[in-house]
Amino acid sequence: MKVLVTGGAGFIGSALIKLWLREDPRVSVVNLDKLTYAGDLRRLESLKNNPRHQFIQGDICSAEVVEKAMEGCTHVVHLAAETHVDRSLLDGKAFFDTNLYGTYQLLDAACRKRVKRLVFVSTDEVYGSRERGFFKEGDALNPSSPYSVSKAAGDLLTRSYVHTHGLDAVVTRGANTFGSHQYPEKVIPLFVSRALSDQPLPLYGDGGQVRNWIHVEDHCRGILRVFEKGKKGEAYNISSPHYLKNLDLTRRILKILGKSESLIQKVKDRAGHDRRYALNSDKLQKLGWKTRSSFDQALEETVRWYQNNESWWRAITDRSEHFKNYYEKAYAGKQ
């Protein structure tokens, strides 16, 4: 089985490839990634001499690049995306280029090449926010940020290819994912890295927004289960039992690090900030998947990973002009 994985130099894509190659000797991977600011080959160091992993730097928006990368591939797992909500509020163009047009290029090539199965990795954000209860897969999509709209568009487009072209495709909708090697714009690595530098942690609004947190390995195992057992044309939620308000998450991070809560700085809220994400994942559990990690242990291990690998994230937070410019632009008006 030769699988084209897009976005495999990203946080989840790299974890997925490493897990898959480790656990399934039948699989070889072609990893197509543009290496945007979020792509990082340091995540793939352990695969350097692995003959079952081939890396191609390229843009999924190019029909030619996609055509070549898909040559000889029997399956596709599509994770490549612009992924940060705050960036989509500053400039949405790249989100619609990659998340919609790039997805179209992949779906079109997958049909022409008669790929056996394509997985589109979507997100819980496509349902929008709800104060109570849990979204099921049949619920209407009601996304509210340019990021989540671009993902919902890719999600719907994928299912339209099943309907109109008979492509064997499935969709996963995963919750907020955490673990090692995550780009330090996302809240957990951002807050850990800032706390370790004794810098204030910019908590949006009242910090009462609720997120469902899933460890990256549990999310990847969910994607693989849908790849193997999901029914053509269906979507599957991937969530965990761990719901936390942002303020409580921040306090836990500070406690693990032994840092003072005075580092918390409440700042202007994210525009259109979704209050609560919550999913029912019974459908995936019926395929034999469940979360394996204990949240407390996984959070502690994750925080310790950033503590023990300062050079990894400091190469971004302290030395990347791109990161510094982004941070200034995104947070300047929030103080």
- Answer with the entry of ligand NAD, ligand DAU, none that 215 interacts with (C-beta below 5 to 8 A by kind): none
Give min distance, CB of 128 to ligand NAD, in A: 14
Please, which residue, 59 or 274, has the CB nearer to ligand DAU? 274
x/- site string to ligand DAU, residues 72 to 111, per CB under 6 A?
A: -----------xxx--------------------------
Q: Is 53 left (phi over 0), alpha (psi -120 to 50) or beta?
A: beta
- Chain centroid offset of residue 184 CA: 13
Task: Give the residues across from 78 on adjacent strands.
Answer: 6, 120
- Chain centroid offset of residue 292 CA: 19
x/- site string to ligand DAU, residues 251 to 280, per CB under 6 A?
A: -------------------x------x---
Instruction: Please identify every residue annotated as catalytic.
Output: 124-125, 147
x/- site string to ligand NAD, residues 164 to 193, per CB under 6 A?
A: ----------x-xx-----x----------
123 binds ligand DAU (CB under 6 A): yes
Strand segments, DSSP code E, in the chain are 2-6, 28-33, 53-57, 75-78, 117-123, 169-174, 176-178, 201-204, 210-215, 235-238, 243-245, 264-267
And the tokens for 113? 């090449």
Residue among 175, 148, 194 at smallest CA distance from 243: 175
Angle between helices 310-317 and 321-331 (to 10 degrees): 70
Please, which residue, 27 or 77, has the CB nearer to ligand NAD? 77
- Answer with the entry of ligand NAD, ligand DAU, none that 115 interacts with (C-beta below 5 to 8 A by kind): none
Rounded-to-integer distance, Cα 58 and Cα 266, Å: 40
User: If you count them, how many residues does the chain have?
Assistant: 335
Give the interface segment with ligand NAD, choosing from 73-81, 129-137, 197-205, 267-275 (CB under 6 A).
73-81
Give the interface segment with ligand DAU, choosing from 38-46, 160-168, 199-207, 310-318 (CB under 6 A).
199-207
Buried b (16+ CB within 10 A) or exposed e, 146-166: bbbbbbbbbbebbbebbeeee
Give the interface segment with ligand NAD, choosing from 53-61, 201-209, 239-247, 273-281 (CB under 6 A).
53-61
156 binds ligand NAD (CB under 6 A): no
Q: How far is CA 89 from CA 74, 94, 149, in A?
A: 37, 11, 12
Q: Is 209 left (phi over 0), alpha (psi -120 to 50) or beta?
A: beta
- Answer with the entry of ligand NAD, ligand DAU, none that 293 interacts with (C-beta below 5 to 8 A by kind): none
- Answer with the entry of ligand NAD, ligand DAU, none that 100 interacts with (C-beta below 5 to 8 A by kind): none
Give min distance, CB of 334 to ligand DAU, in A: 8
Q: What residues line the site for ligand DAU (CB under 6 A)?
A: 83-85, 123-125, 175-176, 186-187, 190, 202-204, 209, 211, 246, 270, 277
Q: What residues line the site for ligand NAD (CB under 6 A)?
A: 6-7, 9-13, 33-36, 38-39, 59-61, 79-83, 98, 102, 121, 123, 151, 174, 176-177, 183
